[in-house]
Amino acid sequence: MPLSRSLSMTSLSGVLPAWEEDELPVEDLLLFEVAWEVTNKVGGIYTVIQTKARITTDEWGENYYMMGPYFEHNFKTQVEGCEPPNPAIRKAMDSLIHNGCQVHFGRWLIEGSPYVILFDIGSAAWNLDRWKGDLWDTCNIGLPYHDREANDSLILGSLIAWFFKEVSCFLCTIDHLGDKPNIIGHFHEWQAGPGLILARSRKIPMATVFTTHATLLGRYLCAGNVDFYNNLDKFDIDKEAGERQIYHRYCLERAAVHCSHVFTTVSQITAVEANHMLHRKPDVVTPNGLNVKKFSAMHEFQNLHSTNKVRIQEFVRGHFYGHLDFNLDKTLFFFIAGRYEFSNKGADIFLESLSRLNYLLRVHRNDMTVVVFFIMPAKTNNFNVESLKGQAVRKQLWDTAHTVKEKFGKKLYGALLKGQIPDMNSILDRDDFTIMKRAIYATQRHSLPPVTTHNMLEDSTDPILSNVRRIGLFNSRNDRVKIIFHPEFLSSTSPLLPMDYEDFVRGCNLGVFPSYYEPWGYTPGECTVMGIPSVTTNLSGFGCFMEEHISDPAAYGIYIVDRRFRAPEESCNQLTQFMFSFCQQSRRQRIIQRNRTERLSDLLDWRYLGRFYIHARHLALSRAFPDKFKMDPMAPLRGFRYPRPYSVPPSPSASLHSTPHHSDVEDEDDEPYDEDEEAERDRLNIKPPFTIRSILSSTPGAPGNTPHLGFRQLDDREKIQLNYRLKPDC
């Protein structure tokens, strides 16, 4: 589903630099995109290929095909089966089916409706031992029998290589004039790697692109709480992979990287990581985008925020019944969401910062309350009784109030018809007061509101709950920060919090994602498109991307925590300060900031980020078929600049009040605004475009460069920070 935004500012049309490459003759090419997550939702790669399908289909039409594993349930619910229009595809499918391997074809029912070719792994499992032998003879990589995921990846890769061989042979038989269509294969992640390795080893004439969204070993190392980024050049890669029993997977990933004509990563931070983990510098950085659907009215996303915020407030009323002593009109909703990777996703530093934020709000006697949602799936057996009871009590109170209101309205209406002002003391009888008193007594609660909404199976060892106990945030009356752990993905059919994820995000005030390991980070990107400010880090691809394009990201609602050049204690304090400053903003300032955040959605639109994939394909063709496709290998891929809008509201960071409390009167006051001055400020926010060579030439460990400097030489201030970080006593 495309995420919606408003037509609030200029588009990037006319602002992007001209595309200097010749357009590819797509009518003479066949593009195949291979990923384990085609029609199979597992993680973030599913979002990448699903959202990118629209622009790729618009460019390639019926010459674009996605390839992945077949799962019966996914095929029946997401794919419309049909016959392949291309005779080469039909011939290749028939060849595999004739040899006992099931292949399914259809249109994936997503935006763009791309063709999909899905291979039934189970139907070809009888070939596994033979294909393991082929893999060993080809590249000396052996797969253990107990690693089912690696075995399934080999089966899928062997079927795909077989399929490409049949397509290539069919095209050769009809090639009379030397103008047969050329094939491009784009492979995502190590699960698709065997297909690329076998296709190259069998010398199938095709151009190949391999994209790693996160290195395999990088994920494992960061999950083990190691100082990953400061020790990239110190790891013994083979030893580390062997100790974690993933050496065979690592070999598949590394072989695919070195076999591909073009190697890409999704962010600059991952490009540096891949250079050390996989020993090849990426040729192109291909940032992840989103489909941005525009509203017809610029205020529409603000209206959606208000509507969905009311729904969250209703849930909070029920969850905190009996302890609802805070003003919901002065309550902010923060959230963190994603896979339950406690350290990688930054939940550890987030919880510690919430403890410090709670202290600051209490010391400054701030009347703002912060309700924080943790949306991370964990092992549960059901909703807990106390959470369900809270929503039942809330509904009962609503029904009681509605009943009394109806009786009150009828008596008031009758009195007014008679031309009388009713006696307010007699308009409600004793029964009405009795009903209301019973409703009040029903809200009495002797226990604190629950921290989690579900019964946890591993309550005593759960990382979030263990840290909540450590910092002592139990939703007591004195706490200004309340915590709600929802260990399940959101759904509109939930009896507890019936909201889809997109609606929930729109109703929140701030998304907090202080990740330590995040090759890209779709969650802050989705917040940006929906006009919700977010916190990210300079160790996430999204954070690096925003730092590259915006001079003052915080003014636009993108708060970037420095987790690369600061000690954990400093990063925690910085995150605390970001959240505390956000709590100090007035309602008007938050509205202004949401407008500015939403403007950045143009930077994340696939219509513009898709050009990096175009560049990668063109480069692959020029390397695979140099006689037919020409391209200057040293030509840098030009980035784009942040556009100058017609006008920009004043920056909230430039108009913060010195006191922590803002009165309602202040919200109504108009702040001075000069359009020319604001336009000049935006010109300063424009940064020069980046090039892939400038990113990779300053990679840590490169000759002449200081280790761990990232993507450029540091200025004096940053050198001081780095030296402080590297002191032995820090």
Closest CA to 482 of 601, 623, 340, 357: 357
Q: Does residue 356 register a pLDDT over 50?
A: yes
pLDDT in tens, 86-98: 999 999 999 999 9
Instruction: Say if residue 646 is exposed, middle or buried (CB neighbours under 10 Å; 0-12, 13-18, 19+).
Output: exposed
Can you give the three-state secondary structure of 345-391, one letter per residue?
Answer: CCHHHHHHHHHHHHHHHHHCCCCCEEEEEEECCCCEEEECHHHHHHH
CA dist 451 and 434 (Å) reads 33
Tokens in use for 583? 């709590």
Q: Which of 345-354, 426-435, 489-498, 499-508 has the lowest mean pLDDT?
A: 426-435
Task: Find out whether 282 and 274 touch, Cβ atoms under 8 Å.
Answer: yes
Task: Find out whether 202 and 168 touch, Cβ atoms under 8 Å.
Answer: no
3 three-state secondary structure: strand
State residue 728's pLDDT score: 37
CA dist 79 and 109 (Å) reads 6
pLDDT class of 448 with cuts at 50, 70, 90? very high
State residue 42's pLDDT score: 84
> Could you state, in order of their start, the residue ranges of all structural domains in the chain?
26-289, 293-384+450-604, 394-447
CA dist 377 and 522 (Å) reads 17
Task: Find out whether 638 and 615 touch, Cβ atoms under 8 Å.
Answer: no
State residue 330's pLDDT score: 95
Tokens in use for 299? 């205020």
- With 0.85 as the threshold, say if the pTM is over it: no
- Residue 324 gets the label, from left (phi > 0), alpha (psi -120 to 50) or beta, of beta
Q: Does residue 106 register a pLDDT over 70?
A: yes
Find all residues with CB under 8 Å of 359, minimum gap 6, and list them: none
Per-residue CA distances from 257 to 165, 273, 517, 614 (Å): 21, 13, 21, 19
Q: What are φ and ψ of residue 484, in 5° steps? A: -130, 115
pLDDT in tens, 590-599: 998 998 898 8
Mean pLDDT (the chain) is 83
Q: Does residue 324 register a pLDDT over 90?
A: no
Q: Does residue 704 register a pLDDT over 50?
A: no
The total number of residues shown for the chain amounts to 730
Q: Spell 554-581 as b/e; 16+ CB within 10 A means b.
A: bbbbbbbbbbbbbeeebbbbbbbbbbbe
State residue 12's pLDDT score: 41
Q: Which of 182-191, 223-232, 238-247, 424-433 has the lowest mean pLDDT?
A: 424-433
Q: At what angle do helices 606-624 and 44-60 cross, to 10 degrees?
A: 80
pLDDT class of 665 with cuts at 50, 70, 90? very low
Closest CA to 655 of 701, 720, 588, 723: 588
State residue 693's pLDDT score: 41
pLDDT class of 425 with cuts at 50, 70, 90? confident
Average pLDDT of the segment spanning 289-315? 85
CA dist 497 and 462 (Å) reads 22
Q: Which of 308-317, 510-519, 534-543, 637-646 has the lowest mean pLDDT?
A: 637-646
Average pLDDT of the segment spanning 208-229? 90
pLDDT class of 413 with cuts at 50, 70, 90? confident
Instruction: Say if residue 64 is exposed, middle or buried (CB neighbours under 10 Å; 0-12, 13-18, 19+).
Output: buried
Q: Which of 224-233, 273-282, 588-597 has the lowest mean pLDDT?
A: 224-233
> What's the first-to-final CA gap in the chain, in angstroms?
46
State residue 22's pLDDT score: 57
Per-residue CA distances from 365 to 245, 579, 657 (Å): 53, 16, 16
Q: At what angle do helices 385-417 and 430-442 cross, to 10 degrees?
A: 160
CA dist 443 and 445 (Å) reads 6
Q: Does residue 370 register a pLDDT over 90?
A: yes
Closest CA to 507 of 516, 515, 497: 497
Q: Does residue 247 register a pLDDT over 60?
A: yes
CATH says 26-289 is which class? Answer: alpha beta
Q: Provide the Cα torsion 118, 124, 130, 132; round to 10°.
A: 50
Q: Does residue 718 register a pLDDT over 50?
A: no
Q: Does residue 340 register a pLDDT over 80?
A: yes
Average pLDDT of the segment spanning 205-220? 94
Tokens in use for 369? 């309350």
Instruction: Say if residue 505 is exposed, middle or buried (CB neighbours under 10 Å; 0-12, 13-18, 19+).
Output: buried
Find all residues with CB under 8 Å of 76, minimum gap 6, and list them: none
Closest CA to 545 of 287, 205, 177: 287
Options 3.90.650.10, 3.30.70.600, 3.30.230.10, 3.40.50.2000; which CATH number does 293-384+450-604 get? 3.40.50.2000
Q: Which of 121-135, 173-187, 667-681 has the lowest mean pLDDT?
A: 667-681
| Identical topology for domains 26-289 and 293-384+450-604 | yes
CA dist 266 and 262 (Å) reads 13
